[in-house]
Amino acid sequence: MSENFDALLHGLTNFDPTIRWNAARALGKLQAPHAVERLIDALSDSEYTVRFGAVSALGEIGDARAIQPLINALCDMEDSRPNAAATALSQIGEPAIKPLLDRLSDPNDVIRANCAQALGGIKDIRAVEHLINALRDPEANVRSSAAEALRSIRDTRAIESAARLRSGCPCQCCTGFGVGQGC
């Protein structure tokens, strides 16, 4: 196994992006915590597919060392990796909650929305009050992600807050709680 593992690690630096992507995906499937640092390095690969594979692999491995690099990946607006990074952070779970809550106030609305999405995937009630506050965000994408996250968590406080906010929500993003018209 050690020989195969070493070959996969070496594959992350191969000249062929398909081999790099396959190596990242295989390391994720193996849930190889010894590969985390190398996969974090792959987050800066020149090829989108390799970065995407590294993000997915880090989520599958679920190691807390990947939290900050994955949160940084939420900031990368050049491709669709932010949604993959939100999913990976959800897979890591509880250790990612505090860093995600901290970024719910980020100046970038896409980062706020992706953080809300990740928190919804974790489904921890500690995020509920923060997500309720995000229902008041000036950006519709953040409100929508917060509403979806609250639906996933299924906390009764969310239903009450959504009903109170319904009349003041310009996009009526609270529909999923049985009120409003939808975004």
In order along its 183 residues, the chain shows pLDDT tens digits of 577 888 999 999 999 999 999 999 999 999 989 999 999 999 999 998 999 999 999 999 999 999 999 998 887 655 555 688 999 999 999 999 999 999 999 999 989 999 999 999 999 999 999 999 999 999 999 999 999 999 999 888 776 665 666 555 555 454 444 433 344
pTM of the predicted model over 0.85: no
pLDDT of residue 180: 37
Burial (Cβ within 10 Å: 0-12, 13-18, ≥19) of residue 113: buried
Residue among 128, 129, 99, 126 at smallest CA distance from 115: 99
CB 29 within 8 A of CB 48: no
At residue 104, the 3 state secondary structure works out as: coil
Q: What is the CA radius of gyration of the chain?
A: 18
Is residue 65 helix, strand or coil?
Answer: helix
How far apart are alpha carbons 128 and 81 in whole angstroms?
Answer: 25
For residue 173, the model assigns a pLDDT of 52
Tokens for 86?
A: 């939100």
Considering the domain delimited by 93-183, tell me its CATH architecture.
Alpha Horseshoe (1.25)
Instruction: Indicate where the chain has its CATH 1.25.10.10 domain(s).
Output: 1-89, 93-183
CATH 1.25.10.10 describes domain 1-89:
yes
Other residues' Cβ atoms within 10 Å of the Cβ of residue 13: 13
